């Protein structure tokens, strides 16, 4: 598992039923020793495992850059505030 700031990520590439590999990554937001939240990204499909893994790593780093410091601690809701 790779680490970046308060996030950790694990790239994964799977070959479901064909000669292609789906690029996937699990991103975990850490708060000290506990997991604060998780994100799972399914990305593109590639011909080689290496290409899929490289894309998963690039995708994880881009997601972390875009969302670092904006990680919500509560579930989103459609309810209006009563204030």
The verdict on residue 83 lying in a domain is no
Count up the domains in the chain and report the number. 1
Mean pLDDT, all residues of the chain: 76
Q: Is residue 31 part of a domain?
A: yes
In whole angstroms, give the CA distance from residue 19 to residue 77: 41
- Provide the whole-model pTM: 0.68
- Residue 32 in any domain: the answer is yes
pLDDT at residue 72 in the model: 54
Higher pLDDT pick, 80 / 2: 80
pLDDT at residue 79 is higher than 80: no
Residue 74 confidence (pLDDT) above 70: no
In a domain, 52, yes or no: yes
In a domain, 73, yes or no: no
Residue 76 placed within a domain:
no
Residue at 75 is within a domain: no
Mean pLDDT to the nearest integer, 64-75: 66
What is the mean pLDDT of the segment spanning 52-77? 76
Question: For position 69, what pLDDT does the model report?
Answer: 67
pLDDT higher than threshold 60 for residue 16: yes
Domain range for 44? 2-67
């Amino acid at each position: 598992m790779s680490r970046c700031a308060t996030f950790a990520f694990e790239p994964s590439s799977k070959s479901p039923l064909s000669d292609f590999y789906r690029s996937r990554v699990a991103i975990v937001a850490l708060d000290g020793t506990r997991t604060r939240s998780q994100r799972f990204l399914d990305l593109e499909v590639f011909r080689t495992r290496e290409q899929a893994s490289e894309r998963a790593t690039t995708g994880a780093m881009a997601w972390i850059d875009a969302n670092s410091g904006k990680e919500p601690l509560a579930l989103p809701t459609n309810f209006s505030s009563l204030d």
